[in-house]
Amino acid sequence: MKQNEKKIMRGTLSIAVFFILFLLFLMSCGSKDSNKDLITNLTIAQILAGSGEQPPGKAEFRLSNTNSLLSTRSSNVQQFRTLSATSYGLLTDLSGNNPQNYGDGTSDGFTDHFITPIAAALDICQIVAYKSREKGGPEPGNETLENASLILYDAAVIFQNVNEKERKFCDYVDKFSLVPEKQTARVDIKTIPIDQRADYDRIGIIASSLTYAFSPNDVPEDAYRYMSLELNNSYRGEIITDIFYDGCPNSFLNSPRSYFNEGTTNDWVEGNTCTVRPGMIDSNSGIFLLNSEEYFTNPNRYKNPPLVNSGVADTESKRLKYKKPSSMDTLRSSDPYIMVLNLGEGSISNLFLDVSMDNVLFWDSNAPDNQFSPQLDVQDRPNATSGADNLTNTSRKNMILHLPTILSSKK
């Protein structure tokens, strides 16, 4: 019965396509170029009519700022929210915090300092869609990969020889970068059939990590140039810096566009001996942990190694962590963290996600400048007893990285 229904829908679509193209033919009879366009349109229409598929929509990430998002928020555009951030009254980042209130004041005896990254990259694994609770979807706040109603995008499609049986979530990722030279990043997504769009009220984005790129003027020490907030891997909840082997292009240190592969040339190909290794930051001092002693014993092998003789013994509790949503703490290691977007009413063929990274790096320091340099300037060093203590104890000399603030709209 379902098979017959599909055939009927395709037949109806074919009839509609015929009449539309017949009208186009009448309007374009006198032009050879128009006839060429008509042939092209007819070919596309026949493919769509025969397959029952609609042309893909797009998901587009756009670089924005807090003031613009506040203006948008006042116009009642839906808020991008996580499992823990369900309030629609205030502008909040992905962890549910107010992006206008990241500091902790001067009562701790230190001045609040802030830096905004100059670029960012999000490693996306999948984008999924959820039906509303009334249409059989999960309760808000209970979204999982298993109860998603439809996969809109899967990064695995750009890879060959994918083993679906052995595959784990975020084994395959696609990088979406937001750099000053290119302030948007987009991808084709599966279009939800028009007659079913009213059934869906949320999408979920599963990403492996989010990487911030900082200007050398703001963060002069190269070892801190790129800081990644790990979302869905073995380091989930932790901050990792990118340490480059000596074979990596020099441009990576000064150009996020080059590192994120958005330049006019592919520096990754030119630097085919490039390997990137993780650096761990100590929440008690801001300097690097000894997760790899080679950074300190053989610094000449790296483009941006930590300072020699500055390493601290590595323990998981001491690792610097970012401000994350409380829901992440309840997940099993095998469960993906999903950023959930409320769609609201209307067409959802194209999604627009406006991203603000304003002041996401906060630290306490009485240094007169606004440069973050914990290895060289002791005043920039945190003094928490652990990664958790750094995030919760405002009497400490803190160093905190926040998730971005993202608002959605659709067309």
More confidently predicted of 231 and 45: 231
Q: By residue range, what is the domain housing residue 9?
A: 2-51
- With a cut of 90, say whether residue 41 has pLDDT above it: no
- With a cut of 90, say whether residue 133 has pLDDT above it: yes
Question: Do 295 and 69 touch, CB atoms closer than 8 A?
Answer: no
Across the range 89-110, mean pLDDT stands at 89
Residue ranges of alpha helices (H) inside 55-182 are 66-74
For 286-301, the DSSP string reads SSBBTT-THHHH-GGG
The region of weakest confidence among 33-37, 143-147, 299-303 is 33-37
Residue 356 banded pLDDT, cuts 50, 70, 90: very high
pLDDT over 90 percentage in the chain: 49
Candidates 215, 206, 203; CA nearest to 357 is 215
User: Is residue 63 located within the same domain as residue 131?
Assistant: yes
Round to whole Å and give the CA distance between 137 and 196.
13
Domains held by the chain: number: 2
Candidates 331, 395, 323, 327; CA nearest to 362 is 323
Round to whole Å and give the CA distance between 177 and 191.
23
pLDDT recorded at residue 171: 85
Candidates 362, 120, 343, 345; CA nearest to 231 is 120
Round to whole Å and give the CA distance between 273 and 278.
17
Candidates 108, 177, 99, 178; CA nearest to 362 is 99
CB atoms within 10 A of CB 324: 24
Q: Return all residues near 143 (Cβ < 8 A) that are at least 6 apart.
A: 83, 130, 202, 204, 338, 340
Residue 407 banded pLDDT, cuts 50, 70, 90: confident
Residue 23 banded pLDDT, cuts 50, 70, 90: very low
The total number of residues shown for the chain amounts to 411
Q: Which of 51, 69, 85 delimits the end of a domain?
A: 51
- With a cut of 50, say whether residue 49 has pLDDT above it: no
User: Is residue 65 located within the same domain as residue 138?
Assistant: yes
Residue 329 tokens read as: 């703490």
User: Is residue 150 located within the same domain as residue 104?
Assistant: yes
Candidates 185, 208, 206; CA nearest to 261 is 185
pLDDT recorded at residue 314: 82
Longest Cα–Cα distance of the chain, Å, equals: 79
Within a domain: 130:
yes
User: Is residue 19 located within the same domain as residue 141?
Assistant: no
CB atoms within 10 A of CB 211: 23
User: Is residue 29 located within the same domain as residue 10?
Assistant: yes
* Ordered strands of the 57-63 beta sheet: 184-189, 57-63, 350-356, 405-410
Residue 40 tokens read as: 């092209």
Question: Do 137 and 202 touch, CB atoms closer than 8 A?
Answer: yes
Across the range 215-221, mean pLDDT stands at 97
Residue 269 banded pLDDT, cuts 50, 70, 90: low
Residue 29 banded pLDDT, cuts 50, 70, 90: low
Within a domain: 297:
no
User: Is residue 90 located within the same domain as residue 107?
Assistant: yes
Across the range 200-224, mean pLDDT stands at 95
User: Is residue 121 located within the same domain as residue 41?
Assistant: no
Within a domain: 8:
yes
pLDDT recorded at residue 125: 94
pLDDT recorded at residue 85: 39
Beta-sheet pairing, 350-356 with 57-63: parallel
pLDDT recorded at residue 24: 45
pLDDT recorded at residue 74: 67
User: Is residue 32 located within the same domain as residue 103?
Assistant: no
User: Is residue 181 located within the same domain as residue 327?
Assistant: yes
Across the range 137-156, mean pLDDT stands at 93
Within a domain: 245:
no
- With a cut of 50, say whether residue 33 has pLDDT above it: no
Round to whole Å and give the CA distance between 273 and 30.
58
- With a cut of 60, say whether residue 99 has pLDDT above it: yes
**pLDDT, tens digit, for every residue of 287-326?**
999 887 888 889 999 999 998 767 788 888 999 999 999 9
Within a domain: 287:
no
Q: Which of 51, 67, 85 delimits the end of a domain?
A: 51
pLDDT recorded at residue 241: 96
For residue 112, report the phi and psi dihedrals to the nearest 5 degrees: -75, 130
User: Is residue 334 located within the same domain as residue 364?
Assistant: yes
| pTM assigned to the model | 0.82
User: Is residue 23 located within the same domain as residue 82?
Assistant: no
Within a domain: 109:
yes
Candidates 95, 231, 207, 106; CA nearest to 155 is 207
Residue 377 tokens read as: 């300037």
Residue 143 tokens read as: 């979204």
**174 pairs with which residues across the strands?**
124
Helix or strand (DSSP H, E) at 129: strand 119-131
**pLDDT, tens digit, for every residue of 101-126?**
999 999 999 999 999 999 999 999 99
Establish how many alpha carbons lie within 13 A of residue 119's alpha carbon, considering only the half-sphere containing its beta carbon.
Answer: 28
Within a domain: 227:
no
Across the range 188-196, mean pLDDT stands at 86
Within a domain: 233:
no
- DSSP structural state of residue 44: H
Q: What is the chain's mean pLDDT, rounded?
A: 81
User: Is residue 17 located within the same domain as residue 84?
Assistant: no
The region of weakest confidence among 141-155, 232-246, 329-343 is 329-343
